[in-house]
Amino acid sequence: MTDEPLATLDGVTRTYGGVPVLADVSLSVGPGVTVVVGPNGSGKSTLLGALAGTVDPTAGSVRYRDGGPRDGDEKRVGYLPQRVPFRDGFTARETLGFYAALVGGDPDAALAAVGLSDAADRRVEALSGGMRRLLGIAQATLGDPAVVVLDEPTSGLDPEMRERAFRAAARAGDDAAVVVSSHDLDLVDAHADAVVVLRRGRVAAAGARERLLADHDVDDIRELYRAVAGSSAGRPTTPDGEESEDDGGGGTDGESVHVAGVSDR
């Protein structure tokens, strides 16, 4: 696995109505699974949106390994938002077939990769919530994008489905930079190669999982979260729905943080 960054955020700031949600965020992500954690309103969804190209930075830039801007090759980034607008009336295979026509890839192989082969001919509206999230992961990985962005792929799922969704995301990280936001710190601990902790729109800590644990003298990601995210880290693991809209709690305290090679093992 190469340590070369596949995507880099350089001084990314995003404001809404003049209120900063992200404040001068600089970091790089490489192959493997990088998980973004932080309290609600800390900027996770905005950060992932900037990386995926659905949120335009107010300042700063997002660039990919070829040195070009994010505009251009539509296959470069696969994206699963919190709310997946799959259209009713189509089967799982037909749904992926539509996206495969745009970006390439084999719908049946994508379904098999997330464990949905047996549900290939079921209509989207007949799938459980967990199956729809798995279908979303399959859609995001079609065409072998170099960067896969998954915003809360386990939100609202039961424990078995959360584990299944995280395993599917981790498999995609064998060949790509997979960036996932999550509140489930136990799953983060089990599957993350690297972790980014956001607090008030800034990077409070970022780097390879093992290095972060050693640097902060903690045993697991839950302890790391509490150590660097402050008192707001009290209930990070509740899977009861999606992160609230980033609330502009970026603040202006602290210095800019640049982290190279976030996905180093």
Phi first, then psi: give them for residue 33, nearest 5 degrees.
-105, 115
Going from the N-terminus, what domains does the chain have, and what CATH number goes with each?
7-87+145-259 (3.40.50.300)
Q: Got the DSSP string for 58-107?
A: SEEEEEETTS-BSSS-TTSEEEE-SS--PPTTSBHHHHHHHHHHHH---H
Q: Residue 148: helix, strand or coil by DSSP? A: strand
| Three-point CA angle 80, 177, 173, nearest 5° | 85
Where is 8: in which H helix or E strand?
Answer: strand 7-16
Tokens at 64, concatenated:
């990919």
- pLDDT digit string (tens) for the chain, length 265 residues: 446 789 999 999 999 988 999 999 999 999 999 999 999 889 999 999 999 999 999 999 999 876 444 444 444 799 999 887 799 999 999 999 999 999 999 999 999 989 999 999 999 999 998 899 999 999 999 988 999 999 999 887 888 888 988 888 888 767 789 999 999 999 999 999 999 999 999 999 999 999 999 999 999 999 999 999 875 443 333 333 333 444 333 333 333 333 333 333 2
Put simply, whether the predicted model's pTM sits higher than 0.75 gets the answer: yes
Of the candidates 96, 114, 95, 113, which has an alpha carbon nearest to the alpha carbon of residue 105? Answer: 96
